[in-house]
Amino acid sequence: MLNVALFGPPGAGKGTQSASLVEEFNLFYISTGDLLRKEIAAETKLGLEAKSIIASGGLVSDEIIVQVIEKTITEHPEANGFLFDGFPRTYIQCYILEGLMLKLNTSLSCLICLEVNEETSVRRLLERGRTSGRTDDNETVIRAIIRDELVKHLVNVVVFGYPGSGRGSQSASLARKYGLEYVATGPLLDQEIKAGTPIGRKIVALYESGQLVPDEIVVQLIEKKLERSREVKGFIFKGFPRTLVQSYILDGLLRKVGSSVSRSIEIQVPMLELIKRLDERSRTERCMPYDNATAKIVQRLAEHETKTVPVIEKYSQLHGVVKVDGMGSFEEVFERTSGVLESLFRAG
């Protein structure tokens, strides 16, 4: 069974693409709006409940929506699969759909996101509005709808930089400013250490020998972090991915919730300046386990060169990596990194 979830802002062409996919692969088209209108018109129990909620100005609950979707799927066993248009829209609905698919002994085959910028969406909708005759097909209303739709999509930013580049402080500040969830391997690992868990004790031993924490531990902690963070605007990842393998893991974790990496930033600082900063940090309370010896500092810088630079090159090929000058005061660098996110939010 082929089950596809199709996403995209108004004007992205979801309707046209849906029609082609449905016809070519014999899929049953599922739009929650269409299904609810059908239930309301038939005056079913679910339809009457939805009608009452809508009449009072409320939003139809996920409880009703999932029942309507399940009913539709079970009523069409002849379909080769189902195409979900605009569903799931939230983190909660992602897990609802995943659970529903499991109950029906199937799974979601793929997620397709049609990406167009705001100007393209507006142009297409204005063209469509010239023949629709609808009073709400005007630029002011269209832009409001598109922006409301775009903010529903997660903004996921990966911040790269050699140890000592300031990526941690910059990432944390960006997360606070833009209301994003900060995902850093360091704090996640520290929590395990402070809690004295078996994982924490393994991490301490690895730190003391100058080794990197293996993927088996890091990925487990990041996945837990993503699962606990519901209804967020997006994530800022610092310290992950460090390797090509981790980059594919991150792609998979985000794909699981119908999302992907939106932008990558690389904070660039000259090598001699990095060594100077790390040496100075080793004499402060902010000293990291790999700061306490010159050999360890050099080893960490070398590991970044051999393992993380290829990851940056991969993301550069996929959607470009924005390079930011990391020299100057924190405020000066923050103005540059903020500029990257500002352009990201403007572009949608």
Instruction: For the chain, list the domains and their CATH numbers.
Output: 2-116 (3.40.50.300), 155-181+232-347 (3.40.50.300)
Q: Using 50, 70 and 90 to split pLDDT, how confident is the model at 29?
A: very high
Q: How many secondary structure helices (H) and strands (E) does the chain include? A: 16, 9
pLDDT higher than 50, residue 151:
no
Query: What's the burial of 176, exposed, middle or buried (CB within 10 Å: 0-12/13-18/19+)?
Result: exposed
Give yes or no for a contact between 165 and 281, defined as CB atoms under 8 angstroms apart: no
Q: What is the mean pLDDT of residues 159-186?
A: 91
Percent of the chain with pLDDT over 90: 27
Question: What confidence tens digit (pLDDT) does each residue in 40-98 have?
Answer: 999 999 999 889 888 887 778 888 888 899 899 989 988 899 999 878 876 567 777 88
pLDDT at 294: 73
pTM of the model: 0.54
Q: CA-to-CA distance for 68 and 59, rounded, in angstroms?
A: 15
pLDDT at 289: 59
Asked if residue 163 has a cis previous peptide bond (ω within 30° of 0), the answer is no
The count of C-alpha atoms lying within 13 angstroms of the C-alpha of 319, restricted to the half-sphere facing its C-beta, is 11
pLDDT at 346: 64
State the CB neighbour count (10 A cutoff) for residue 158.
25
Give yes or no for a contact between 81 and 101, defined as CB atoms under 8 angstroms apart: no
